[in-house]
Amino acid sequence: MDPRAAPSDVDRAAQAIRSGGLVILPTETVYGLAADAADPKAVAAVYAAKGRPSFNPLIAHVADLEMARRIARFDPRAEALAARFWPGPLTLVLPVADERAVCDLARAGLDTVAVRAPAHPLARALIAAAGRPLVAPSANRSGRPSPTTFADAVEETGGTAAAALDGGPCGVGLESTVVALLDQPRLLRPGAVTRAQIEAVVGPLAEADADARRSPGRLARHYAPSAPVRLDATSPQPGEAWLSFGPGGAGPWNLSPAGDLAEAAANLFAYLRAADRTHPSGIAVAPIPHEGLGEAINDRLKRAAGFVG
C-alpha cells in the first residue's frame, strides 16, 4: 500500500464510487478520474468534468483477469497479452461481453470495450473495494497533458471529485498502450508497453486505421500545453522554455540527463506543465530517439505540437 493514502481513504473513496461520485485515482501510468463503469450518470459526470467529447470511449479498469473476462470476450491472443503484461500499462480493446457492466455511454455506443488491469497498489485497492470495473480517463481536462502528480491531478479536475487518493508521482508517466484485437492486432495508441514487447507476443501490429470509430482518441491536438511546442530543436530561441535530453542538456528540464527513455517518459508531462507555467513564448524540445518508449514519447510530443500522429 502506498504510504500517502491510508486504507480508510480507500474505503471512503470506494463509498464515493458506490454513491455515483468521482475519485482522483493514481495509476502507474498517469492519474485517472474514476467512476463506476456501469453507472451512466457517473460516467456522464466524468465526461462533463473533462469537457470531453462523448464519442471518445473510456477504459474499464479491472482488478484482475477474472473481472476482465466478465466484461470482455478474450481470445487466445488477448489471454497471452494479459498473461504477459497484466497488471500493467496495457489496454486491450475487445468485443464487449456484458453491456451493462460497462454502460453504453462509457463505450460511446461501440460493441467493443477497452479494458486494463492497472498495477498501482492504490488503483488495485480501490477497484477491489468498489468490487466493480471503474472507468478512469486521464484526470486532465480534455486536450491538456495528462497529470502525473497528485497536485496536477487535483488542479485539473479535483473540483469535480468526491474523493482523491494521493499515490505520489506516477512511475511510468505515459498512458497505457492501447491494442485492439478485433481483427488483426492493431496498435491504437503507442504507450508504456513498447511495440516490440507486444509484437513479441502476438506478431506484427497493424496501424490504427483511418476509421475514426476504431481509434476515436487519436485527435491531432491533444496532450497540449498553452505555449506552442517546437520539436527536434537543437537549442532554445530567446523567450522559449527548453526541454533537453541527454548528457550536457542545459536548464531545469532535462528529460533524462542519462539519455534514458523510461526516465524521459516519467518526466515528460510534468516538465511540459512546469515549462508552461513560466509563460514562455514557446517550448522547444530536443530530439528524442524513436526507439522503444521513444515511439510513445514522440507520439505525445507530436500531439502537444498539434501535428497529426
Q: Across the strands, what pairs with 113?
A: 94
Considering only residues 57, 133, 185, 280, which one is a binding residue for ligand TXA as defined by CB under 6 A? 57
Judged by CB under 6 A, the chain residues 185 through 214 that form the site for ligand TXA are 188-189, 214
Residue 229's DSSP bridge partners are 283
- Name the amino acid, one letter, at 207: E
Whose Cβ is closer to ligand TXA: residue 217's or residue 280's? 217
SS3 assignment, position 240:
strand
Question: Which of 27, 112, 138, 149 forms a contact with Mg ion (CB under 5 A)?
Answer: 138
Residue range at the interface with Mg ion (CB under 5 A); choices 37-45, 93-101, 130-138, 201-209: 130-138
Site for ligand TXA (CB under 6 A): which residue of 46, 58, 268, 293? 58
For position 29 contacting ligand TXA by CB under 6 A, the verdict is yes
- Asked if residue 108 lies in contact with residue 46, where contact means CB atoms within 8 angstroms, the answer is no
> Around Cβ 4, how many Cβ atoms within 10 Å?
13
Three-state DSSP class for 201? Answer: helix
Q: Is 157 in the site for ligand TXA (CB under 6 A)?
A: no
| 125: three-class secondary structure by DSSP | helix
Q: Which residues are paired to 206 by β-bridges?
A: 186
The count of chain residues that interact with Mg ion, using the rule CB under 5 A, is 1
**Dihedral (CA of 297, 303, 306, 309) sign:** positive
Of the listed pieces 42-50, 98-106, 121-129, 134-142, which binds Mg ion according to CB under 5 A? Answer: 134-142
User: Which chain residues interact with ligand TXA by CB under 6 A?
Assistant: 27, 29-30, 32, 56-59, 89, 91, 93, 107, 110, 112-114, 118, 136-138, 175-176, 178, 188-189, 214, 216-217
